[in-house]
Amino acid sequence: MWPLPTDPRTSPHTGYTRRHWEAVADEWLAATTRYASPSGALLRIPGRHAWSGPESDALEGYARTLLLVACRTAHGDRPDLVDRYAEGLIAGTTPGGPESWPRGDDCRPDRRGPTQPIVEAANIAFALHLSRGRVWSRLDDGERARVVDWLRHHARLRAWPNNWLLFTAVIEAFLASVGVDTSGHRSDALVHRVESWHLGGGWYTDGGRRNVDHYNAWVIHPFLWAWYDMVGAERDPDAARLWRNRLAAFAADHARMFGANGSPLIQGRSLVYRTAALAPQWLAHLVDAPGTDPGATRRLASGVLRYFTDAGVGIGRPVGLGWLADDHLPMTQEYSGPGSPYFGAMGFLGLLLPADHPVWTAPERPQPAEGPDTVTALRDVGWLVQSVRDGGVVTVHNHGSDHVTSKTPDTDPFYGKLAYSSHGFPGTGAAFTDGCDGEFQRLGDTGDWLRRRAIAAHRVTADTAVSDNDYGDGTVTSATAVRGELAVRWHRTFDDRPVREGGWLLADPVATGAEDTVAWARDASGLCTVVAGLHGWATAGVDGFGAVTPLGDRAAVPVLRAPDGRDLVSLHLATRHADPVAWCRELRERLSVTVDAEGLTVVWPDGARCRVRPIRAPERATVAPEVP
C-alpha cells in the first residue's frame, strides 16, 4: 500500500528500501488491472494510440507489464500476478481466440504490415526468461507449443537494422533455451552485428551513423545480457566476457548521467520509459561486474524512482505518455502508445536480486552528481559530461550524437542540440520551431534559421570537445571547454550573417533579465540558466514560451545575438546564484578568451589555460564513419 514510511537509517539520501520498490511496482500494476481483457491477454489502457493501432497497443500493455511482473515475483511474492499473467499468456497465443495476439510482419520500407509485435514478442521472451520457473513451468505441453509457435513466427522476421536486431535475437535465444530447434534461424549474426556498433567504453551507436542515446541503457545492454545469459555464453564465451567488461565500463560512465535530483539525462527518444535508464546499474550487480558499489547504486536508483514517484508517476493511474504524472505528447514519438511507458519495468531489474544482497542492505552512498565538480570525457561518443555539485546538475556537451542518417537530415530537439541536462527539457513546439535553446543558429537566405544537422567529425580531450557540423550550406566548427561549473563555447563560421545562440530552457521562471551581453532566468528553487557573450556577440535577451516542456506551463531561454561574425565565444552556466548578472560580470573580469587562426585559448579564473584547435582534414577522414 502506498505510501510507505521512509527509512533514513539505511537510506539517508532517499529513504527508499526494497519495500518501496515492491510497493511502487504494485501501484504501477494495479493501475492497469481495470483495463485488462477477461483473461488478461490484452490491456486496453486509455490514451493516444500508436501508429501500430489499438490491437498492438493492447498486446504491448500485456507484454510490458509482464516484464514488471517478472521482476516483482522473482522471489515468490505475489503468486496472484503469476496466475493472472499465465492465463493471459495462454489466451493471447490461442489461435482464433477472443484475446489472441496480432502477429507481426517483416520490417521493410516497402511493406505496411504491423511490426510492433516483434518488440512485444521480445519483451515476452525476455520476461519468460526471468520468470521461467514461475510462468513457463506452469504451462502444459499444448500451451507451451502455442506460445512457441507465436514466438517462433517473430524470431524468423526481418527486423530494422538497429536495436531491433536484438529483439528477434532474444526471441530465438529463449526458444533455444527451452529446447526448440532454432538451427534455421539462429541469431548469432544479429548479435555480432550489434556488437560491431560498439564505439568504446561500453557505448554503442543504435544502428545508424551517430545514434547515441538511452537505448544503450534500456535495450542494448539488457537484451545483450539476456542473449548471453540464455545461449550466448555457450555459443561465444569470448564475446560474452568482452560484453561483461563493456557493461562494467558503461555502468560506471552511465552513473554520471543522473542529476542529484534523481532525473536521468533528458536526451534522445522514448523518454517515456523513464526508469528503464537504470537497467545497466542493476545488471552490473546481476553479473557481478567489477567496480560496482552497492550503496551508491541503490542511492542512484532509488533517487530516480523517488523523483518520478514524488511527481505522481504511476500512482493511482497508469504510467503516462510524458515525463512527470501528466501526458506530454509533444515529447513522444508516434510509435508510443498507452502501454509503452511500462517499458520502465526494465528499471526494476534490481528486484531480481535477493533481499539480502548488498545492493539492498548496504547503506546508501552518494551518487556521482553529489561529489565534487567533475568533467568526464567520453571520447568515442563525442561527449563531455559535466557534473556540478552546486545544484546537482549534470550536463552532456554533445559533439558526437546527431541521430541523422546520411540521406535524411533530422530536426529533432532531443538529438541536435549542443548540450543536454538532467534539469532542463529541450523545448518542443514553438520553442523548437521558433527558438534556439541549446543551439547555435545562422540566418538562412530564405529568412529561416539554419540549425546543426549532421556531425561530420569530432574530437574530445579531457576537458574539451570540438565538432564539425553540417548546416546545409556549409560547415561550422563548434567547441566546448569545461572547468568546474563553467562551460565556454566557441563557434567558427564560414561567412558573415546574423547568428544567435540559446542557453538552457528553464521551466516556470520566477525572474528573468538581460544586460549588455548577459541574459539569465531563475526558477523558484534558485536554479539559474545564464549565457554571457565573451567574444563576437552584440546583444542579449530572453525569449519566452508557454508549456513547451512537461516541467512547467511557462519557459524562458536566454539568448545571445549578433548581426554577423566569424568567431563567437560565450559562457554557459546552469547552477544556483542569487545575482547572476553580477556573478557573470565578475567571471568575465577573471576569465579571458583569445581567438586566432589556430583556435581558441581560454584562461580560467584560477589561472589554468585551455587550448582548443579546429579539426584538421586528416581527422575528418577517420571520425564519425558510417556504421553498417
Residue 20 confidence class, pLDDT cut points 50, 70, 90: very high
Decide if pLDDT at 564 tops 50: yes
The ranges assigned to domains in the chain are: 18-363, 375-620
Query: Average pLDDT for residues 136-146, to the nearest whole number?
Result: 98
Query: 201-210, 440-449, 536-545 — which is least confidently predicted?
Result: 201-210
Of 392, 421, 397, whose CA–CA distance to 507 is shortest?
421
Query: Average pLDDT for residues 524-531, to the nearest whole number?
Result: 94
Look at residue 446 and give its three-state secondary structure: coil
Q: What is the C-alpha R_g of the chain?
A: 25
| Half-sphere CA count of 523, side-chain side, radius 13 A | 20
Could you report the per-residue pLDDT of 57-74, keeping only the tens digit for each?
999 999 999 999 999 999
Decide if pLDDT at 585 tops 90: no
Of 489, 485, 529, whose CA–CA distance to 509 is shortest?
529
pTM: 0.96
Residue 406 confidence class, pLDDT cut points 50, 70, 90: low
Query: Average pLDDT for residues 402-410, to the nearest whole number?
Result: 67
Residue 1 confidence class, pLDDT cut points 50, 70, 90: low
d(CA 314, CA 27): 7
d(CA 29, CA 330): 26
Question: Cell numbers at residue 185, please?
Answer: 534461424
pLDDT of residue 407: 53
**What is the DSSP code (8-state) at residue 43?**
B
Query: Average pLDDT for residues 351-364, to the nearest whole number?
Result: 98
Query: Average pLDDT for residues 228-253, to the nearest whole number?
Result: 97
Cis amide bond preceding 618, omega within 30: no
Exposed, middle or buried: residue 425 (CB in 10 Å: 0-12, 13-18, 19+)? buried
Question: Cell numbers at residue 183, please?
Answer: 538451427
User: According to CATH, what is the number of the domain 375-620?
Assistant: 2.70.98.70
Decide if pLDDT at 364 tops 90: yes
d(CA 306, CA 283): 20
Question: Cell numbers at residue 502, please?
Answer: 540559446
d(CA 308, CA 317): 13
d(CA 302, CA 18): 9
| Residue partners of 323: CB distance under 8 A and separation at least 6 | 266, 271, 272, 274, 331, 425, 550, 551
Residue with cell 542518417: 405
Question: Cell numbers at residue 550, please?
Answer: 512537461
Look at residue 605 and give its three-state secondary structure: coil
Residue 445 confidence class, pLDDT cut points 50, 70, 90: very high
Of 185, 57, 34, whose CA–CA distance to 120 is shortest?
57
pLDDT of residue 2: 76
* Four-point Cα dihedral 104, 105, 111, 113, nearest 10: -30
Chain centroid to Cα 307, Å, comes to 16
Q: Which helix (H) or strand (E) holds 414?
A: none
The beta strands (E) that lie in 237-341 are given as none
Architecture of domain 18-363 in this structure: Alpha/alpha barrel (1.50)
Size (the chain), residues:
628
Could you report the per-residue pLDDT of 463-474, keeping only the tens digit for each?
999 999 999 999
Question: Cell numbers at residue 427, please?
Answer: 523545448
Alpha carbon separation from 573 to 381, 388, 421, 523, 533 (Å, rounded): 23, 10, 11, 14, 12
Residue 543 confidence class, pLDDT cut points 50, 70, 90: very high
Decide if pLDDT at 404 tops 90: no
Report the side by side order of strands in the sheet with 383-388. 374-378, 383-388, 393-398, 419-421
- If one compares 109 and 144, the residue with the highest pLDDT of the two is 144
Q: Cβ–Cβ contacts within 10 Å for residue 110, how many?
A: 5
Residue with cell 517473430: 154
d(CA 231, CA 461): 39
Percent of the chain residues topping a pLDDT of 90 = 90
Could you report the per-residue pLDDT of 146-169, keeping only the tens digit for each?
999 999 999 999 999 999 999 999
pLDDT of residue 628: 40
- If one compares 575 and 503, the residue with the highest pLDDT of the two is 503
The pLDDT mean for the chain works out to 95
Q: Cβ–Cβ contacts within 10 Å for residue 355, how many?
A: 12
d(CA 570, CA 397): 14
Question: Cell numbers at residue 586, please?
Answer: 565578475
pLDDT of residue 409: 57
Q: Cβ–Cβ contacts within 10 Å for residue 324, how many?
A: 17
pLDDT of residue 584: 86
Q: Angle 294-310/18-30 helices, nearest 10 degrees?
A: 40
d(CA 261, CA 267): 16
Alpha carbon separation from 428 to 40, 85, 435, 437 (Å, rounded): 37, 38, 9, 10
d(CA 32, CA 426): 30
Question: Cell numbers at residue 6, please?
Answer: 521512509
Cα dihedral sign for 234, 119, 273, 506? positive
Percent of the chain residues topping a pLDDT of 70 = 97
Q: Which residues pair with 155 in a beta bridge?
A: none
Decide if pLDDT at 622 tops 70: no
Look at residue 196 and give its three-state secondary structure: coil
Query: 36-40, 55-59, 109-113, 459-463 — which is least confidently predicted?
Result: 109-113
Residue with cell 567496480: 291
- If one compares 300 and 412, the residue with the highest pLDDT of the two is 300
Query: Average pLDDT for residues 491-503, to the nearest whole number?
Result: 96
Cis amide bond preceding 3, omega within 30: yes
**What is the DSSP code (8-state) at residue 232?**
I
d(CA 523, CA 554): 11
Decide if pLDDT at 565 tops 90: no
pLDDT of residue 175: 98
Q: Cβ–Cβ contacts within 10 Å for residue 455, how many?
A: 23
pLDDT of residue 415: 94
Of 458, 457, 471, 438, whose CA–CA distance to 558 is shortest?
438
Instruction: Give, rounded to a whole angstrom, the gap between the first and last alpha carbons of the chain.
Output: 49
Q: Are 563 and 521 contacting, i.e. CB atoms less than 8 angstroms apart?
A: no
Dihedrals φ, ψ of 496, to 5°? -100, 110
Decide if pLDDT at 625 tops 60: no
d(CA 119, CA 337): 13
Chain centroid to Cα 508, Å, comes to 24
